[in-house]
Amino acid sequence: MSTTIDEVPGMDEAPGRGGARRGGGYERPDATMQKKGKFELYSWVFMRVSGLLLIFMALYHLYWWNLVVGVEHLSSQVVLERWNNPLWRLFNVGLATFAMLHGLNGLRYSIEDYIRNPGARKVVKAIAYTVVLAILLWGIWGLLTFDFASAARR
């Protein structure tokens, strides 16, 4: 028995998509979906790029502290010496920023999947964005404004 698109009830229009095509699939989405689709595309690309960068940055971080320095030689003085170099501070800011934003984007995906009520979804996203961005800004501020002179005196 062969069924065509025209014979299937409710298959002529799907919400947010173009009409069903003969042979399967859908036509191009309308303009409102294309605008939202750009953000989703950039978000998808960000997840891949930040994930790849995080792998290499985290592995380097672990290699440096565990194999080069060694946990038996790790002290606050070693950390102070490393943080005295602006490039290491920038590395730590990048590691923290990519980790937090990558996690926030993953959280956004989960919120979109599991919270069906649009109002509740908006509230939960606003709370999540506020908390994550506040923690990220606090961490970056701490990394960039750390006072070495007072720490060295202790």
DSSP-assigned states of every residue in 35-79? HHHHHHHHHHHHHHHHHHHHHHHHHHHHHIIIIII-GGG--HHHH
Residue 61 pLDDT > 80, yes or no? yes
Mean pLDDT across the stretch 13-24? 58
pLDDT digits (tens, 9 = 90+) for 92-145: 999 999 999 999 999 999 999 999 999 999 999 999 999 999 999 999 999 888
- Mention every residue, 6+ apart, whose C-beta is less than 8 A from residue 94: 53, 57
Burial string for 55-79 (b: 16+ CB within 10 Å, else e) reads: eebeeeeeeebeeeeeeeeeeeeee
- With cut-offs at 50, 70 and 90, classify the pLDDT of residue 152: low
Summary mean pLDDT of the chain: 82
CB-hemisphere CA count at 13 Å for 80? 11
pLDDT of 5 strictly over 80: no
Q: Does residue 60 surpass a pLDDT of 60?
A: yes
- 26 pLDDT band, cuts 50/70/90, is low
pLDDT bin (cut points 50, 70, 90) of residue 33 is low
Q: What pLDDT does residue 91 have?
A: 93
